[in-house]
Amino acid sequence: MSESNTPNTTPTAVAADAVRILYCRCAYAQVVPPAVKDAVLAGLADAGRGFEMVPDLCEMAARRDPHLAELARGTGPLRIAACWPRAVQGLFVLADAPLPQQGVEILNMRTDTAETVLAGMLAAPEGSAS
Amino acid sequence: MIATPLLPPRVVVYEGAGATPLPSGDRAGIFASLLDRGYAVTRAGTGAADQLAGGAMIVIGCFPEGPPAVADASGQCEVAVRDVTGLSVGETIAVVEEARGTRRMNRPPDAAAAANGPVANTVDTWKPWFPVIDTARCTNCMQCLSFCLFDVYGVAGDQTLRVENPSNCKVNCPACSRVCPEVAIMFPKYHAGPIDGGPVADADVHREKMKVDISALLGGDIYAKLRERSADAKSRFSKERSADQALAERRRCLTKLADAAQIPREVLDALPSPEEIQRRVEAAAARAAAAKEAASGGSA
C-alpha cells in the first residue's frame, strides 16, 4: 500500500526477494482436515504480513482464473499451503499457468500438521539474514 | 462451460497506513467466512501477490477518517471501498455481499444454501470435480480421451492431452483414472491416494497396468458391455412395459461395472442411448487416433 490513506489498486507490490504466500481453503470438499486449515489460516492471519487466500484452487483452475497466472509468473519465491504437490502443480498446468521449476514450495495440509505447515510457510527465505 | 465464467470479486483486507488493524480476534474469522463463500482474499502487504488482474475488487478496512476514494488508473478493475469499523464478522461479510451486488459467483453448496434474499439468486454451486493430469507421468496414450463419453478431454495444439471441459465431468466419478496405465490422472478432491494426487508407489503402477483394459476385467469391451446391458434393458422394457422394472434391471446389470470402475450409479443411469454411446465412442476414438498420428508425424 502507499503511505497515504488512499489504497491504490496495486496494493501488494513486494520486494523481489520477498516470499509470496498463498493459502488454499479447499472450500468445496472435506478432504483437508478443518482443524488444520483453520489453524494454518489463523497462524497466517496473526503473522502480521500480507498473503493471498483463495477459496479453492480446483475451482479457480477450472475457470482458468488469470490470478493463477499472476501467481505463477510473479517475482520472488512462492509458498503454497494446499494439498498434494503433484495435484497443485497439475492444477496450475490446467489453468495454463505452470509453476516455475524453482522457487515454489508446496505444503500439504492433507497430511501435515498445522504446526509443520505454518513453520514452512513462515520460515525465513533461504539466504536471508533473519 | 463453467457455470460462472466471470471473475468473482476479490476482497482486499487493508490494514496499512491510514487504517487501524482489524480486531485480532476477528481477522481469521473474516478470512475464513469470505473464503467459505467463494471470495478470493488478499491481505495487503509484503508477501501477497504482485498485482491484480482486472475484474472487481472490494477493499475493506477500518478507516478512522472514512473510506478513501479509490479509482483504478488502468480502468480494468472496478473498485469499491467499505469501512468496517466496529462491525462483527457477520456484519462485515454482509457489507462485502452488499458491495458485490448482483455480480454472479460460484460458491460451495453449504454456503449457498445458507444464503437468503437477493444473494441466493446470484450464486452457482458447481462442485469443482474434474481430472487433473500429472504431465510428468502422462505419456499421451489418449486412453482416457477414448474412454470419456462426456468430452472432458481434448488435445492441445502440441498434440498433448488436455482437460478441455472440466465442468463436463460427472461429480464423484473417478472412472477415467482407472484406465490410465501410468497413474497420471488425479482427482484432487478424491478421498484416497494416489488418485487424490498422493505419491505413486510401484505397486500402484503395477496394479493399474494389470487392469489397464477394464474391458478385459469385465469380459469384453466396456462400451460393448454397456450397449449390451442397455439393449437388454430396452428389450425387457418393450416386453414388460414397465419403466420402473427396466430401470431396476439396468441398475442391477451395471452393478459389476460400477463397482469395478467406481462409477457412481447416477452416472450410469444418466448414460445416453446405446446409439449415442456408440457415436461418442467413435468420435473420441477418432480424436485420440488423430492426436497420436499427428504427434508421431511431428516427431518423425
Task: Dump pLDDT digits (tens) for B197-206.
Answer: 999 998 888 7
Kindly tell me if the per-residue pLDDT of A124 is higher than 90: no
CA B171/CA B267 separation, integer angstroms: 9
Count of H-run helices and E-run strands, chain B = 11, 10
The predicted-structure confidence for B221-278, as pLDDT tens digits, reads as follows: 555 655 665 566 555 544 444 545 544 544 555 665 666 666 777 777 777 776 777 7
- Interface test with chain B among A71, A86, A93, by most B beta carbons within 10 Å: A86
Q: Determine whether the interchain pair A42/B106 forms a contact, defined as Cβ–Cβ distance below 8 Å.
A: no
Kindly tell me if the per-residue pLDDT of B207 is higher than 90: no
B144: three-class secondary structure by DSSP: helix
The predicted-structure confidence for B160-182, as pLDDT tens digits, reads as follows: 999 999 999 999 999 899 889 89
Tell me the average pLDDT across A108-117. 98
Backbone angles phi, psi at B34, to 5 degrees: -65, -45
Tell me the average pLDDT across B189-194. 94
Closest chain A C-alpha to B59 CA, distance in angstroms: 8
- The Cβ of residue B73 has, within 10 Å, a number of other Cβ atoms equal to 9
Predicted local distance difference test score (pLDDT) of residue B178? 85
The predicted-structure confidence for B34-49, as pLDDT tens digits, reads as follows: 999 999 999 986 555 4
Predicted local distance difference test score (pLDDT) of residue B30? 98
For residues A43 and A114, the answer to whether their CB atoms sit within 8 Å is yes
Query: Would you say the ipTM is above 0.85?
Result: yes
Of residues A65 and B261, the one with the higher pLDDT is A65
How far, in Å, are A7, A28, B147 from residue B150 at the CA level? 46, 22, 9
Of residues A12 and B279, the one with the higher pLDDT is B279
The predicted-structure confidence for A18-48, as pLDDT tens digits, reads as follows: 899 999 999 999 999 999 999 999 999 999 8
Query: C-alpha angle with apex B6: B4 to B12, nearest 5 degrees?
Result: 115
Interface of B with A in 144-163 (CB under 8 A): 163
Tell me the average pLDDT across B272-296. 78
Is B52 touching A (CB cutoff 8 A)? yes
Predicted local distance difference test score (pLDDT) of residue B203? 86
- The Cβ of residue B266 has, within 10 Å, a number of other Cβ atoms equal to 11
- List helix spans (H) across chain B: 24-36, 89-100, 109-114, 143-147, 202-210, 214-218, 222-240, 243-253, 255-261, 265-269, 274-299
B26: three-class secondary structure by DSSP: helix
Q: Determine whether the interchain pair A14/B40 forms a contact, defined as Cβ–Cβ distance below 8 Å.
A: no
Question: All 3 cell numbers of residue B300?
Answer: 518423425
For residues A93 and A101, the answer to whether their CB atoms sit within 8 Å is no
Of residues B208 and B190, the one with the higher pLDDT is B190
CA A55/CA B120 separation, integer angstroms: 18
Q: Which residues of A touch B40 (CB under 8 A)?
A: 52-55, 60, 67
- How many beta-carbon pairs below 8 A join chains A and B? 229
Q: What percent of chain B has pLDDT over 90?
A: 36
Q: Which residue in B172, B201, B197, B173 sits closest to B186, CA to CA?
A: B197
B162: three-class secondary structure by DSSP: strand
At what angle are helices A114-122 and A34-45 packed, to 10 degrees? 30
Residue where the block lists cell 501488494:
A12
